[in-house]
């Protein structure tokens, strides 16, 4: 791993490189489940504060009287080695929390969009979001019990996905399955940069 | 520290939104901070052996932040450890920054980093998990 660069502060303390991966998808698609299955720490939650819609945050004079609320974000961590950590963030499911996505997506390595074949259309907004912003993503087709089995090709057509966007069947409850989804994402990112990391 | 405001309603508040809170009480109502731009995964590093006694104005939460940042800790983990919203932690970090008690290391922009070595290390690391 000595080829991996790391940053050190002026006193020589090494700071790992932290890479963000977003876990998106419609309501109930398995985002929290996937983050929990993959995280090495107990599933963590953090909160972001929302102030009222359209609040002018430059004007802080009256802020204490404004009601605010918080949105929970799931996050998990995978330590690759001393110099590299992956942070997984489950995106808030509700459309109106989308401005949080911009913060989450900023500088992200890529995203996993979980698709529930019982409600495929629910993941359209996530796909649109990442396509528009040029964030590399893969689609994980989450196999819920009792859901009809579709061929991946049928799902690809229904989602109108680019042919080069990888699709993977997965079970968000299963760590190995989640791992292979992340691997296909990282390989996809590498391919997009024209540097395949493995011969697939 | 958090106080519900049971009387207030907003059209966008419902079961999906968390409880209504006054999370900025701790920051004296400040919502803006020089730490606003810090990424969720930016590493916060405390100055070694900080003389916190010299800053009586700091809250216990500030002191905890300095302690937790001794090894270098990402913003999002600090927020989870302190059970504070990320926005509040950013304001507190701004206070610490302006006193030189912490330094913040922004993550590399994924648009030009990580390079292929890093991606390969991630794939190998995931396979080995
Ligand atoms: N059979 C099956 N069930 C799953 C799978 N993934 C998630 N579930 C179940 O589906 C339910 C919803 O999963 P969550 O992980 O909470 O979904 P979410 O996307 O976080 O939901 P929201 O945050 O409410 O949008 C839970 O009861 C999970 O146990 C899967 O791959 N297969
Ligand atoms: Mg969830």
Give the model confidence (pLDDT) of B63-78 as tens digits: 999 999 998 999 999 9
The answer for residues whose C-beta is within 8 angstroms of residue A169's C-beta and 6 or more apart is A140, A141, A143, A152
pLDDT grade for B99, boundaries at 50, 70 and 90: very high
Confidence of residue A198 (pLDDT cuts 50, 70, 90): low
B contacts of A94 (beta carbons < 8 Å):
16
**Averaged pLDDT, B26-32:** 68
Overall average pLDDT of the B28-57 stretch: 83
Q: Does residue A116's CB lie within 6 angstroms of at least one atom of ligand 1? A: no
Q: What is the pLDDT of residue A148?
A: 66
With residue A104 as reference, give the H or E element that holds it.
helix A98-105
Measured between beta carbons, which residues in chain A are less than 8 angstroms from residue B101?
A: none
Supply the residue whose CA is at minimum distance from atom 8 of ligand 1. Answer: A30
- Considering only CB atoms, B119 lies closest to which of A5, A179, A190, namely A190
pLDDT at residue B116 tops 90: no
Flag the least confident range among A3-12, A20-29, B21-30: A3-12
Does residue B122 carry a pLDDT above 80? yes
The SS3 assignment for A97 reads helix
| CB B91 within 8 Å of CB B65 | no
Check if the beta carbon of residue A86 is closer than 8 Å to that of residue B122: yes
| Position A186 pLDDT exceeds 80 | yes
Average pLDDT value over all residues in chain A:
80
- Separation between Cα atoms, residue B117 and residue B61, nearest integer Å: 39
The rounded Å distance from CA B120 to ligand 2 centre is: 30
Structure tokens at B5: 């405001």
CATH 3.90.870.40, applies to A7-192: no
B35 pLDDT tier (thresholds 50, 70, 90): low
Determine whether the interchain pair B85/A49 forms a contact, defined as Cβ–Cβ distance below 8 Å: yes
Interface with A, mutate which of B49, B75, B118, B127 (most A CBs under 10 A): B118
For residues A99 and A185, which has the higher predicted lDDT (pLDDT)? A185
Q: Of ligand 1's atoms, which has the minimum distance to the CA of residue A114? A: 19
Average pLDDT over residues B88-98: 92
CA of B55 vs chain A CAs: smallest distance (Å): 23
pLDDT attached to residue B54: 95
Higher-pLDDT residue of A142 and A52 is: A142
Contacts of B7 in chain A (CB under 8 A): none
Looking at residue A92, its pLDDT comes to 79
Top pLDDT among B7 and B30 is at B30
Closest CA to A134 of A91, A193, A61, A183: A193
Domain boundaries, chain A: 7-192
Predicted TM-score (pTM) of the model is 0.81
Least confident of A58-62, A152-156, A160-164, B124-128: A58-62
Phi first, then psi: what are they for A132, rounded to 5°?
-65, -35
As a whole number of angstroms, the distance between CA A41 and CA A179 comes to 15
A89 Cα to the center of ligand 2, angstroms = 10
Domains of chain B, earliest start first? 33-128 (1.10.10)
pLDDT per residue as tens digits for the range B103-113:
998 876 655 55
Packed helices B75-82 and B86-98: angle between N→C axes, nearest 10 degrees: 110
| pLDDT recorded at residue A151 | 85
> Which three-class secondary structure string do you get for chain B?
CCCCCCCCCCCCCCCCCCCEECHHHCCCCCCCCCCCCCCCCCEEEECCCCCHHHCCCCCHHHHHHHHHHHHCEEHHHHHHHHCCCHHHHHHHHHHHHHCCCEEEECCCCCCCCCCHHHHHHHHHHHHHC
Cis peptide bond upstream of B114, omega within 30: yes
Most confident residue range from A2-6, A61-65, A147-151, B19-23: A147-151
Q: Is the pLDDT of residue B92 over 80?
A: yes
């Amino acid at each position: 791993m000595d080829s991996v660069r790391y940053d050190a502060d002026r006193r020589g303390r090494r700071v790992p490189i932290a890479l963000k991966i977003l876990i998106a998808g419609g309501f109930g698609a398995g985002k929290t489940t996937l983050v929990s299955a993959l995280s090495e720490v107990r599933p963590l939650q953090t909160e972001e504060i929302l102030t009222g819609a359209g609040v002018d945050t430059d004007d802080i004079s009256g802020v204490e009287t404004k009601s605010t609320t918080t949105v929970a974000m799931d996050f998990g961590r995978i330590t690759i080695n001393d110099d590299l950590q992956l942070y997984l963030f489950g995106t808030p499911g509700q459309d109106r929390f989308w401005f949080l996505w911009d913060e989450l997506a900023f500088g992200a390595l890529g995203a996993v969009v979980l698709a529930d074949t019982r409600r495929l259309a629910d993941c359209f907004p996530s796909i649109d979001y990442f396509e528009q912003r040029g964030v590399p993503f893969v689609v994980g087709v989450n196999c819920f019990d009792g859901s009809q089995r579709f061929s991946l090709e049928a799902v690809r057509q229904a989602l109108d996905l680019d042919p080069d966007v990888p699709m993977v069947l997965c079970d968000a409850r299963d760590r190995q399955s989640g791992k292979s989804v992340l691997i296909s994402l990282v390989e996809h990112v590498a391919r997009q940069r024209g540097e395949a990391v493995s011969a697939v | 520290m958090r106080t519900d405001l049971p009387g207030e309603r907003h059209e966008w508040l419902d079961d999906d939104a968390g409880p209504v809170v006054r999370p900025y009480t701790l920051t004296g109502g400040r919502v803006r901070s020089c730490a606003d731009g810090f990424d969720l995964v930016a590493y916060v590093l405390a100055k070694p052996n900080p003389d916190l006694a010299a800053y009586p104005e700091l809250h216990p939460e500030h002191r905890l932040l300095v302690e937790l940042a001794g090894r270098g800790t990402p913003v999002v983990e600090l927020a989870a450890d302190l059970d504070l919203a990320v926005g509040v932690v950013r304001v507190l970090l701004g206070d610490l920054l302006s006193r030189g008690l912490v330094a913040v290391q922004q993550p590399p922009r994924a648009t030009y980093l990580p390079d292929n070595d890093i991606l390969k290390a991630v794939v190998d690391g995931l396979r080995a998990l």
